[in-house]
Amino acid sequence: MNLAVKDIKHNVGRFMLTTVGIGLLLMIVMGMSGIYRGLIVEATLLIDHIGADLWVVQSDTRGPFAEISRIPRSMKDRVLAVPGVSRTRSFVSHTIQREHHGHPLRVVVQGLSWPEDKGEWIPLISGRYLSKGHYEMIADKSLGLELGEKLALGKDTYEVVGLTKGMVGSGGDGLGFFTVSDALSIQFDQPGEALRLERAARRERIASADLGRLQPSLVKRAAGLSSSIPALSPQAVNAVLVSVEPGCCPEKVISVLSKWPDISVYTTGQQRQLLLAGMVDKARRQIGLFRILLVIISMIIMALVIYTLTMDKIHDIAMLKLIGARNRVIVGLIMQQSVLTGLLGYLLAYWLGSYAFPKFPRQVIIENQDLLALAVVVLMISVGASLLGVWKAVKVEPNKVLAA
Residue 266 lies in a domain: no
Q: Residues in the chain with pLDDT < 50?
A: 1
- Taking the CB of residue 9, how many other CB atoms lie within 10 A of it? 9
Distance CA 341, CA 343 (A): 6
- In a 13 Å sphere around the CA of 14, the CA atoms on its Cβ side amount to 13
pLDDT given at position 241: 92
- 112, 142, 138, 110: which is closest to 124 by C-alpha? 138
Q: What integer pLDDT is reported at residue 1 of this predicted model?
A: 43
378 within a domain of the structure (yes/no): yes
- Residue-wise pLDDT for 57-83, tens only, equals 988 888 788 788 888 888 898 999 999
Residue 138 lies in a domain: no
Residue 117: name the closest of 49, 67, 173 by CA: 49
Q: Is residue 145 part of a domain?
A: no
Angle between helices 327-356 and 12-50 (to 10 degrees): 50
Q: Is residue 311 part of a domain?
A: yes
Residue 345 structural domain: 3-43+281-403
Q: What is the pLDDT of residue 11?
A: 66
Domain total for the chain? 1
- Distance, in Å, from the CA atom of 252 to the CA atom of 245, rounded to the nearest integer, reads 11
The model carries a pTM of: 0.77
Looking at the domain assignment, is residue 154 inside a domain?
A: no
d(CA 175, CA 46): 9
Residue 330 is assigned to a structural domain of this protein: yes
390 within some domain: yes
